[in-house]
Amino acid sequence: MIKKYRFGNPIPTDSVVIDIAPETAPITIFEADETAKRLRYNLDKKDVVYGLGETIRGINKRGWIYDSWNSDDPNHSEDKHSLYASQNFLIIASCNEGATNKKPIGIYVDDPGRVTFDIGYTDIDVFDIIFEDFDADVYVIEGESVLDIVKQFRHIIGKSYIPPKWAFGFGQCRWSYMTADEIREVVREYKKAGIPLDSVYLDIDYMYRYKDFTIDEAAFPDFENFVKEMKDEGIHLVPIIDAGVKVEDGYDIYEEGMEKDYFCKKENGEVLTAAVWPGRSHFPDFLNDDARKWFGDKYKILLDMGIEGFWNDMNEPAIFYTTDHLAEVFDKIDSYKGKNLDIQSFFEFKGTVASIDNNIEDYKRFYHDYKGQKIRHDKVHNIFGYNMTRAAGEAFERICPDKRILMFSRSSYIGAHRYGGVWCGDNLSWWSHILLNLQQMPGLNMSGFVFSGADVGGFGADATEDLVMRWTQLAIFLPLFRNHSAMGTRRQEYYRFKDIQGFKNLVDLRYALIPYIYDTFMNAVENDAMYAMPLSFIYENDERAWNVYDQLFIGDSIMIAPVYTQNAEGRYVYLPEDMKMIRFRSTEDYDEEVLEKGDHYIQTGLNEVAIFIRKGHKLPLAQPAMRIADIDEKTIKEISYLA
């Protein structure tokens, strides 16, 4: 049962697609305090709080404070409050075993501005939702189970995006492959290694001077033919699209946007000049229907060249600086010259420069023309990236309605899940980020983002072979499976390491698993179900299962428990029932063992990946192929654990 409570005058977000009349009675379950602009829920000792999308920390969000404020922050440490997305859906639940038959509660806070979720941070027993402006639609969902609440919620937000099937293949990325030849080399090396590959991603340097919808012709001569050459090899090129449009006379998109008045403006009516990769840029007003349509139509430039997939980036939006703020910074810096900079003034000076980018004040400097109203950006900040993804999604629907186009975004808000997937942004080559990747998946699925994953091996910082190996052992089970790393970091294409055969075995296993992965994915989309979920979603009465935060069920049949610590030769796994373990070294070389319900230490060497099949379930395994399209369903064999 879903009830909608309206507070103040909410700005519509189009995240919910089913019309629900607001309640006339005051909110129950949560206690509203209009003065404090707050909703409060008193947590029981055993309450677990799920959700909040791709945020940091654990599957259980209890014990931290989160800000819904889409942020370009590449340092995903556990003390952060915001990442790239705002997915304000949560479920409060607890194990039913021996309990008062307490039912779970879902809550969706539909507010495009800043919202703070203090989930037992200030007081370990209190869950507060604090609004910057108390203008929001709040949906409270009661249900029989966590999965029931997920289903109800997903029903009202509309069906999740489905990518083309090749997008479930392995993709290789780097910031950046600088030339067509570099990409040819990547494809050649993967082929030589016998490692399946379906896509290579183009990061910002394929563009000419970072201008959206342009190609650097010197580095990528005759791009259209190059796209075709790759497609003939079975490789899809997936270019990045950024939110900022370079200010440059003669650049058609800039000139058109100016002419049609589609860029975001300051209060005085001047177009805002903010800098991103190309330096000075303007932001298309994705919230404006006409501007959104205009920008969306630009994807056709690349579609016409044979491109079939894109990733949208920098759409929080990231702002290196605004020209207005930068001028203020330079003035401020001048004032420090010649002084004895001590603890206060030195760190103030450093802070002035360190806080130039993504500065909160800059988000108050510009406006949107949204549904007929002029709205200051910070009030709708969290739906900016969503509307960029929507620009693309709506355009694809217009341009090629019968074709699935790959689309995923860095920034998002619920609603965007109908137009694309997400990746978890600029993570790091940290062991703890393998676990973070695992822990982000349930929250994403709950809020409709089923096609999702994180950069395998970590984007920033230097990877090690064993880290990439262990991370891959998780990622082969997730919908979006992409290896990506940043400029200046150690190269981490699989063929660059020593144990190439070990990596091949893992990617082969991914391709063998495709029938299961694709079915599970399609089921999750079509039935508003979970793709990846914690044990407690299934074993509602098992107290031990509720305390397991580093294992996942992928669909209903198999459980994974990846190793995420360095130098480990195995890990502990909790089995919520008797299960059959399959310990793969490759699709051909594995051992099977039925293990009893309970706790186990499972030996898994660096080359081994263990999965667990439920009783009465089976795992189909296809013969691996070098491309998704070449997987032959007729080769499927089944590993089953008969009841």
196-232: burial string, b at 16+ Cβ within 10 Å, e else: bbbbbbbbbbbbbebbbbbbbeebbeebeebbebbee
- 288-293: long-range pairs with CB below 8 Å, 24+: 288/262, 288/368, 288/369, 288/370, 290/260, 290/262, 291/257, 291/260, 291/262, 291/263, 291/369, 292/387, 292/390, 292/391, 292/394, 293/391, 293/394, 293/395
Respond yes or no: is residue 589 known to be catalytic: no
C-beta of 232: minimal distance to a second copy in Å? 33
Q: Which is nearer to a second copy, 204 or 446 (CB)?
A: 204
Three-state DSSP state, 218: coil
Least spacing, CB of residue 128 vs a second copy, in Å: 14
Cβ-in-10-Å burial (0-12, 13-18, 19+) of 352 comes to middle
Q: How far is the CB of 324 from a second copy (least distance, A)?
A: 14
Rg of the chain's alpha carbons, rounded to an integer? 24
Min. distance of Cβ 316 from a second copy in angstroms?
17
Query: Of the residues 73, 111, 212, 313, which is catalytic?
Result: 313
The torsion of the CA quartet 67, 73, 74, 76, rounded to 10 degrees, works out to -20
Q: Which is nearer to a second copy, 23 or 499 (CB)?
A: 499
Minimum CB distance to a second copy, residue 57 (Å): 7
Least distance in Å: CB of 352 to a second copy? 9
To the nearest whole angstrom, how small is the minimum distance from the Cβ of residue 409 to a second copy? 21
- Decide whether 479 or 502 has the Cβ nearer to a second copy: 502
Angle between helices 343-354 and 323-334 in degrees, nearest 10: 160
**Separation CA 69–CA 71 (nearest Å):** 6
458 versus 479: smaller Cβ distance to a second copy = 458
Residue 223, amino acid: F
User: Is 107 within 8 Å of 119 (Cβ atoms)?
Assistant: no
Closer to a second copy by Cβ: residue 329 or 639: 329
Least CB distance from residue 418 to a second copy, whole Å?
32
CB atoms within 10 A of CB 359: 16
CA distances from 200 to 160, 172, 184 (A): 24, 5, 10
- To a second copy, the closest distance from the beta carbon of 362 in angstroms equals 14
| Tokens at 462, concatenated | 């230097």
List CB contacts of 232: < 8 A, sequence separation 6 or more: none
Give the max Cα distance, the chain.
80
Compute how many other C-beta atoms are within 10 angstroms of the C-beta atom of residue 296.
23
Distance of CA 3 to the CA centre of its chain: 28
Dihedral pair phi/psi, residue 105, rounded to 5°: -130, 130
Q: Nearer Cβ to a second copy, position 495 or 641?
A: 495
CB 325 within 8 A of CB 339: no
Q: Which of 110, 242, 308, 426 is catalytic?
A: 426
Q: Closest separation between CB of residue 333 and a second copy, Å?
A: 6
Distance CA 385, CA 380 (A): 10
Annotated catalytic residue 67: no
Whether 610 and 563 have beta carbons less than 8 Å apart is answered as: no
**Cβ–Cβ under 8 Å, residues 143 and 106:** yes
Choice between 392 and 469, CB closer to a second copy: 469
The catalytic residue among 316, 369, 465, 528 is 316
Which of helix, strand or coil describes residue 12?
coil
Which residues are near a second copy by CB under 8 A? 48, 57-58, 60, 62-64, 75, 77-79, 120-121, 123-125, 204, 210, 275, 277-280, 320-321, 326, 330, 333, 336-337, 340-343, 345-346, 349-350, 353-354, 356-357, 428-432, 460-462, 464-467, 498, 544, 547, 549, 565-570, 572, 574, 599-601
Write out the two tokens for 576: 């919520």
Comparison of 45 and 634: residue with beta carbon closer to a second copy: 45
Buried-exposed string 321-345: b where 16+ CB fall within 10 A, e elsewhere: bbeebbeeeeeeeeeeeeeeeeeee
**Placement of tokens 């800059």 in the chain:** 362
Residue closer to a second copy by CB (options 306, 570) is 570
| H helix or E strand, kind and range, residue 322 | strand 321-322
Specify the residue, 296 or 458, whose C-beta has the smaller distance to a second copy: 458
Asked whether 577 and 643 are in contact (CB, 8 A), the reply is no
- What is the rounded CA–CA span in Å between residue 212 and residue 195? 32
* 53: number of Cβ within 10 Å: 30
| Smallest separation, CB 203 to a second copy (Å) | 12
Q: Residue 54 or residue 137: which is nearer to a second copy going by CB?
A: 54
CA nearest neighbour of 215 among 188, 187, 191, 183: 183
- Beta-carbon count within 10 A of 636 CB: 15
- Cβ closer to a second copy: 64 or 471? 64
Whether 633 sits among the annotated catalytic residues: the reply is: no
Shortest CB 427 distance to a second copy, Å: 12
Residues forming the active site: 313, 316, 426
